Amino acid sequence: MDITPQIETLRQDLVRAAEVGGLEVQVAAERLLLALEPAVRLALMETLSQAAAEISEQLPGVAIDVRLKGREPAFAVTGAPPEAAHETAAPADEPLDSETDDGVARITLRLPEALKTRAEALAASRGQSLNTWLVAAARAAAHEAPRHQSQAQGRYGLAGKHIRGWAK
């Protein structure tokens, strides 16, 4: 998706507004435009990412991502076709436990492309979006954490309040 026309329109609007202030204001506006273009591109990318996330939530089994190709955003759609997703998505999207969430936190997760592809395939095979599948994986890992911690303590001889081992 080429966002250059939107940035150019914004530039023209700012130039027209600066004409009212005279030559000094026009020069300052041109300098400001050069500095703001990367920030405007980033803001548009974030807006597109939020829209893609909202659309993905409404389409069970489908994930829409926004990726950069050069300086321009591109949409990547993955997942099962909508007909197949409606049949299997309802049971698969149920939470693993009855925890009530106070809110939802948004994070950026960077994965190697091969791992992301495998995760998308596993999510699609269960009729889930990648986000839903990752949330389920994180919940499962969070429930296993205390067990792994106690095993690690036992391995180093720190079981409970007792210390085992040899002393000289």
Q: How many domains does the chain have?
A: 2
Q: Give the Cα separation of 15 and 28 in Å (integer).
A: 10
Residues 92 and 33 in one domain: no
Region 93-118 average pLDDT: 71
How wide is the angle at C-alpha 26 spanned by C-alphas 24 and 28, nearest 5°?
70
Residues 95 and 22 in one domain: no
Region 54-77 average pLDDT: 83
pLDDT on residue 30: 86
Residues 16 and 44 in one domain: yes
Residues 38 and 76 in one domain: no
Residues 82 and 42 in one domain: no
Residues 6 and 71 in one domain: no
pLDDT on residue 107: 83
Residues 27 and 93 in one domain: no
Instruction: Inform me whether the pLDDT recorded for 77 exceeds 50.
Output: yes
Residues 46 and 86 in one domain: no
Residue the block writes with tokens 């998706």:
1
Bigger pLDDT: 153 or 53?
Answer: 53
Residues 45 and 71 in one domain: no
Residues 32 and 103 in one domain: no
pLDDT on residue 94: 46
Residues 41 and 69 in one domain: no
pLDDT on residue 168: 64
Phi/psi of residue 128, each to 5°? -115, 160
Residue 144 buriedness (CB in 10 A; 0-12 / 13-18 / 19+): exposed
How many other C-beta atoms lie within 10 A of the C-beta of residue 159? 12
> pTM for the complete prediction?
0.42
List helix spans (H) across 67-159: 82-92, 113-125, 130-155
Of 21, 3, 131, 13, nearest to 65 (Cα)? 131
Segments forming the whole domain that contains residue 31? 1-51
Which residue among 51, 68, 91 closes a domain? 51
pLDDT on residue 135: 87
Share of the chain above pLDDT 70, in %: 71
Bigger pLDDT: 125 or 167?
Answer: 125
pLDDT band at 92 (very low <50, low <70, confident <90, very high): very low
Which residue among 13, 33, 51 closes a domain? 51
Residues 28 and 96 in one domain: no
Instruction: Inform me whether the pLDDT recorded for 37 exceeds 50.
Output: yes
pLDDT on residue 88: 43
